[in-house]
Structure 1
Amino acid sequence: MASRQNVVTRNADEHVVRTGNVHACAAVANLIRTSFGPYGLDKMLCWEGKERVVVSSDCAAILECLDVQHPAARVLVQMALAQKQELGDGTATVVILAAELLRRGHALIVAIGVHPALVINGFRRAMREAVKFLKLSLAVTSSPDNAKVQEIVLSAAATALSSKILGSASSPSSGDRQFFAKMAVDAVLTTRVIKPDDEHDVPLGHRFNQKHIHILKLPGKSIRESALVHGYVLNYPRASPSMLLRAAPAKIAFLDISLQQRGLQNGARFECTDPGKLGDVAASEIRILLNKAASIIKSGANVVLVTGGIHEAVLSQLIKARVMACRRVAIRDLKRAARACGGAVQYSLADSVGDENFDSAGLGFAEEVAVERIQDAEVLMVKGGRVGSSRTVLLRGPNAAVLDEMARGFEDATNVVRNVLQTGSYVPGAGATEMAMSVYLEKLASVMLSREQLAVNEFAMALTKVPKQLAENSGLDAADLVAKLRSLHFAAQTHSKYDHCKHFGLSLERGKVADSIQRGILEPTACKVRAMQYATEAAVTILRVDTIWRIPRSNVEQRSREDHDNDEGTG
Structure 2
Amino acid sequence: MQQQAPKAYIIVSNDKNEIQKTSAYTAKTLSSIIKTCLGPRAMQKMVLTKINSIEMSNDGNSILREMDVNHPSARCLIELSRTQDEECGDGTTSVLIFASELLNQIVPHLKTLHPIKVCNILRKAKDICINHLNTIAMEAAESDLINIVTSSVATKLCCVLKLPIPELALRSVQLIKSSIDGRIDVKNDIKIEKILGNFDECEIIEGIILEKEIIHSQMRRSIENPKILILDMPLEYRKGESVTNMEFSNKNDFTRALEIEEEQIHKMCGYIVDTGADIVITEKGISDLALSILYEKQITAIRRIKKSDSNRISKATGATVLNRLEDASPKHLGEAGMFEYVKIGKEYFCKLSKCKNPKAISVILRGPTRDVLTEIERNFMDAVKVARNVLLNPKLVPGGGASEMSMALKLNNSNDKEEKIIFRECGVALKVIPSILSTNSGNGICLDVINELEKKQNKDGPYFGINGITGEISDMKNIVLEPLVVKTQCIKSGFEAVMQILRVDGIIESKSK
Pairwise TM-score range, normalised by the shorter structure: 0.7 to 0.9
Q: How far, CA to CA, are the matches of 2:119 and 2:373 in structure 1?
A: 43
User: Which residue does the alignment assign to 1:140?
Assistant: 138
Deviations 1:179-199 (A, max 9, x none): 33233333323334336xxxx
Asked whether the 8 Å contact 1:439–1:460 carries over to 2, the reply is yes
User: Which residue does the alignment assign to 2:416?
Assistant: 449
Tell me: CA distance 1:262–1:27, structure 2 relative to 1, closer, same or farther (3 Å).
farther
User: Which residue does the alignment assign to 1:353?
Assistant: none
SS at match of 1:190: helix
The letter for the 2-side match of 1:130 is C
User: Which residue does the alignment assign to 2:97?
Assistant: 96
SS at match of 2:477: coil
User: Which residue does the alignment assign to 1:370?
Assistant: 339
Q: How far, CA to CA, are the matches of 2:85 and 2:8 in structure 1?
A: 35
Q: How far, CA to CA, are the matches of 1:460 and 1:96 in structure 2?
A: 14
**Residue of structure 2 aligned with 1:492, choices 428, 448, 457:** 457
SS at match of 1:392: strand
Q: How far, CA to CA, are the matches of 2:18 and 2:259 in structure 1?
A: 73
Deviations 1:406-444 (A, max 9, x none): 122122222222322322211121222112222332x32
Q: How far, CA to CA, are the matches of 1:381 and 1:132 in structure 2?
A: 48
SS at match of 1:162: coil
- Superposed, 1:533-552 pairs within 5 Å as 533-552=492-511
The letter for the 2-side match of 1:36 is L
Q: How far, CA to CA, are the matches of 1:262 and 1:407 in structure 2?
A: 42
Asked whether the 8 Å contact 1:188–1:417 carries over to 2, the reply is yes
User: Which residue does the alignment assign to 2:312?
Assistant: 336
**Residue of structure 2 aligned with 1:412, choices 382, 387, 395:** 382
Q: How far, CA to CA, are the matches of 1:260 and 1:537 in structure 2?
A: 56
User: Which residue does the alignment assign to 2:296?
Assistant: 320
SS at match of 2:179: coil
Mean Cα deviation higher: 461-470 or 244-253 = 244-253
**Residue of structure 2 aligned with 1:156, choices 138, 142, 148:** 148
State the Cα distance separating 1:545 from its structure 2 match. 0.8
Asked whether the 8 Å contact 1:88–1:415 carries over to 2, the reply is yes
State the Cα distance separating 1:541 from its structure 2 match. 0.6
Q: How far, CA to CA, are the matches of 2:108 and 2:46 in structure 1?
A: 30
State the Cα distance separating 1:363 from its structure 2 match. 4.5
Q: How far, CA to CA, are the matches of 1:314 and 1:525 in structure 2?
A: 55
Tell me: CA distance 1:241–1:504, structure 2 relative to 1, closer, same or farther (3 Å).
farther
The letter for the 2-side match of 1:370 is F
Deviations 1:80-111 (A, max 9, x none): 333222223222222221111122222222xx
**Residue of structure 2 aligned with 1:20, choices 19, 22, 33:** 22
State the Cα distance separating 1:231 from its structure 2 match. 2.7
Q: How far, CA to CA, are the matches of 2:167 and 2:428 in structure 1?
A: 37
State the Cα distance separating 1:517 from its structure 2 match. 1.6
Asked whether the 8 Å contact 1:338–1:364 carries over to 2, the reply is no
SS at match of 1:523: strand
Asked whether the 8 Å contact 1:212–1:389 carries over to 2, the reply is no
Q: How far, CA to CA, are the matches of 1:286 and 1:93 in structure 2?
A: 65
- What is the alpha-carbon root mean square deviation over aligned residues? 4.0
- For normalisation by structure 1, the TM-score amounts to 0.75
Asked whether the 8 Å contact 1:225–1:396 carries over to 2, the reply is yes
Q: How far, CA to CA, are the matches of 1:66 and 1:415 in structure 2?
A: 24
Asked whether the 8 Å contact 2:158–2:165 carries over to 1, the reply is yes
SS at match of 2:12: coil
**Residue of structure 2 aligned with 1:394, choices 338, 355, 364:** 364
Asked whether the 8 Å contact 2:195–2:364 carries over to 1, the reply is no
State the Cα distance separating 1:400 from its structure 2 match. 2.3
User: Which residue does the alignment assign to 1:185?
Assistant: 170
The letter for the 1-side match of 2:475 is D
Q: How far, CA to CA, are the matches of 2:296 and 2:355 in structure 1?
A: 26
Q: Does 1:121 align with 2:86?
A: no
Tell me: CA distance 1:130–1:230, structure 2 relative to 1, closer, same or farther (3 Å).
same
User: Which residue does the alignment assign to 2:429?
Assistant: 462
**Residue of structure 2 aligned with 1:514, choices 474, 477, 485:** 474
The letter for the 2-side match of 1:217 is E
- For normalisation by structure 2, the TM-score amounts to 0.83
Tell me: CA distance 1:535–1:284, structure 2 relative to 1, closer, same or farther (3 Å).
farther
- Superposed, 1:199-278 pairs within 5 Å as 207-210=183-186, 214-244=190-220, 245-246=222-223, 248-255=225-232
User: Which residue does the alignment assign to 1:41?
Assistant: 44
State the Cα distance separating 1:365 from its structure 2 match. 1.2
Deviations 1:365-387 (A, max 9, x none): 12444106476565433346577
State the Cα distance separating 1:291 from its structure 2 match. 6.4
User: Which residue does the alignment assign to 2:482?
Assistant: 523
Q: How far, CA to CA, are the matches of 2:50 and 2:507 in structure 1?
A: 30
State the Cα distance separating 1:239 from its structure 2 match. 2.4
Asked whether the 8 Å contact 1:505–1:513 carries over to 2, the reply is yes
Q: How far, CA to CA, are the matches of 1:187 and 1:71 in structure 2?
A: 38
Q: How far, CA to CA, are the matches of 1:65 and 1:344 in structure 2?
A: 41
State the Cα distance separating 1:226 from its structure 2 match. 1.4
Asked whether the 8 Å contact 2:204–2:363 carries over to 1, the reply is yes
Gaps of 5+ in 1: 144-148, 196-204, 350-355, 555-571
SS at match of 1:448: coil
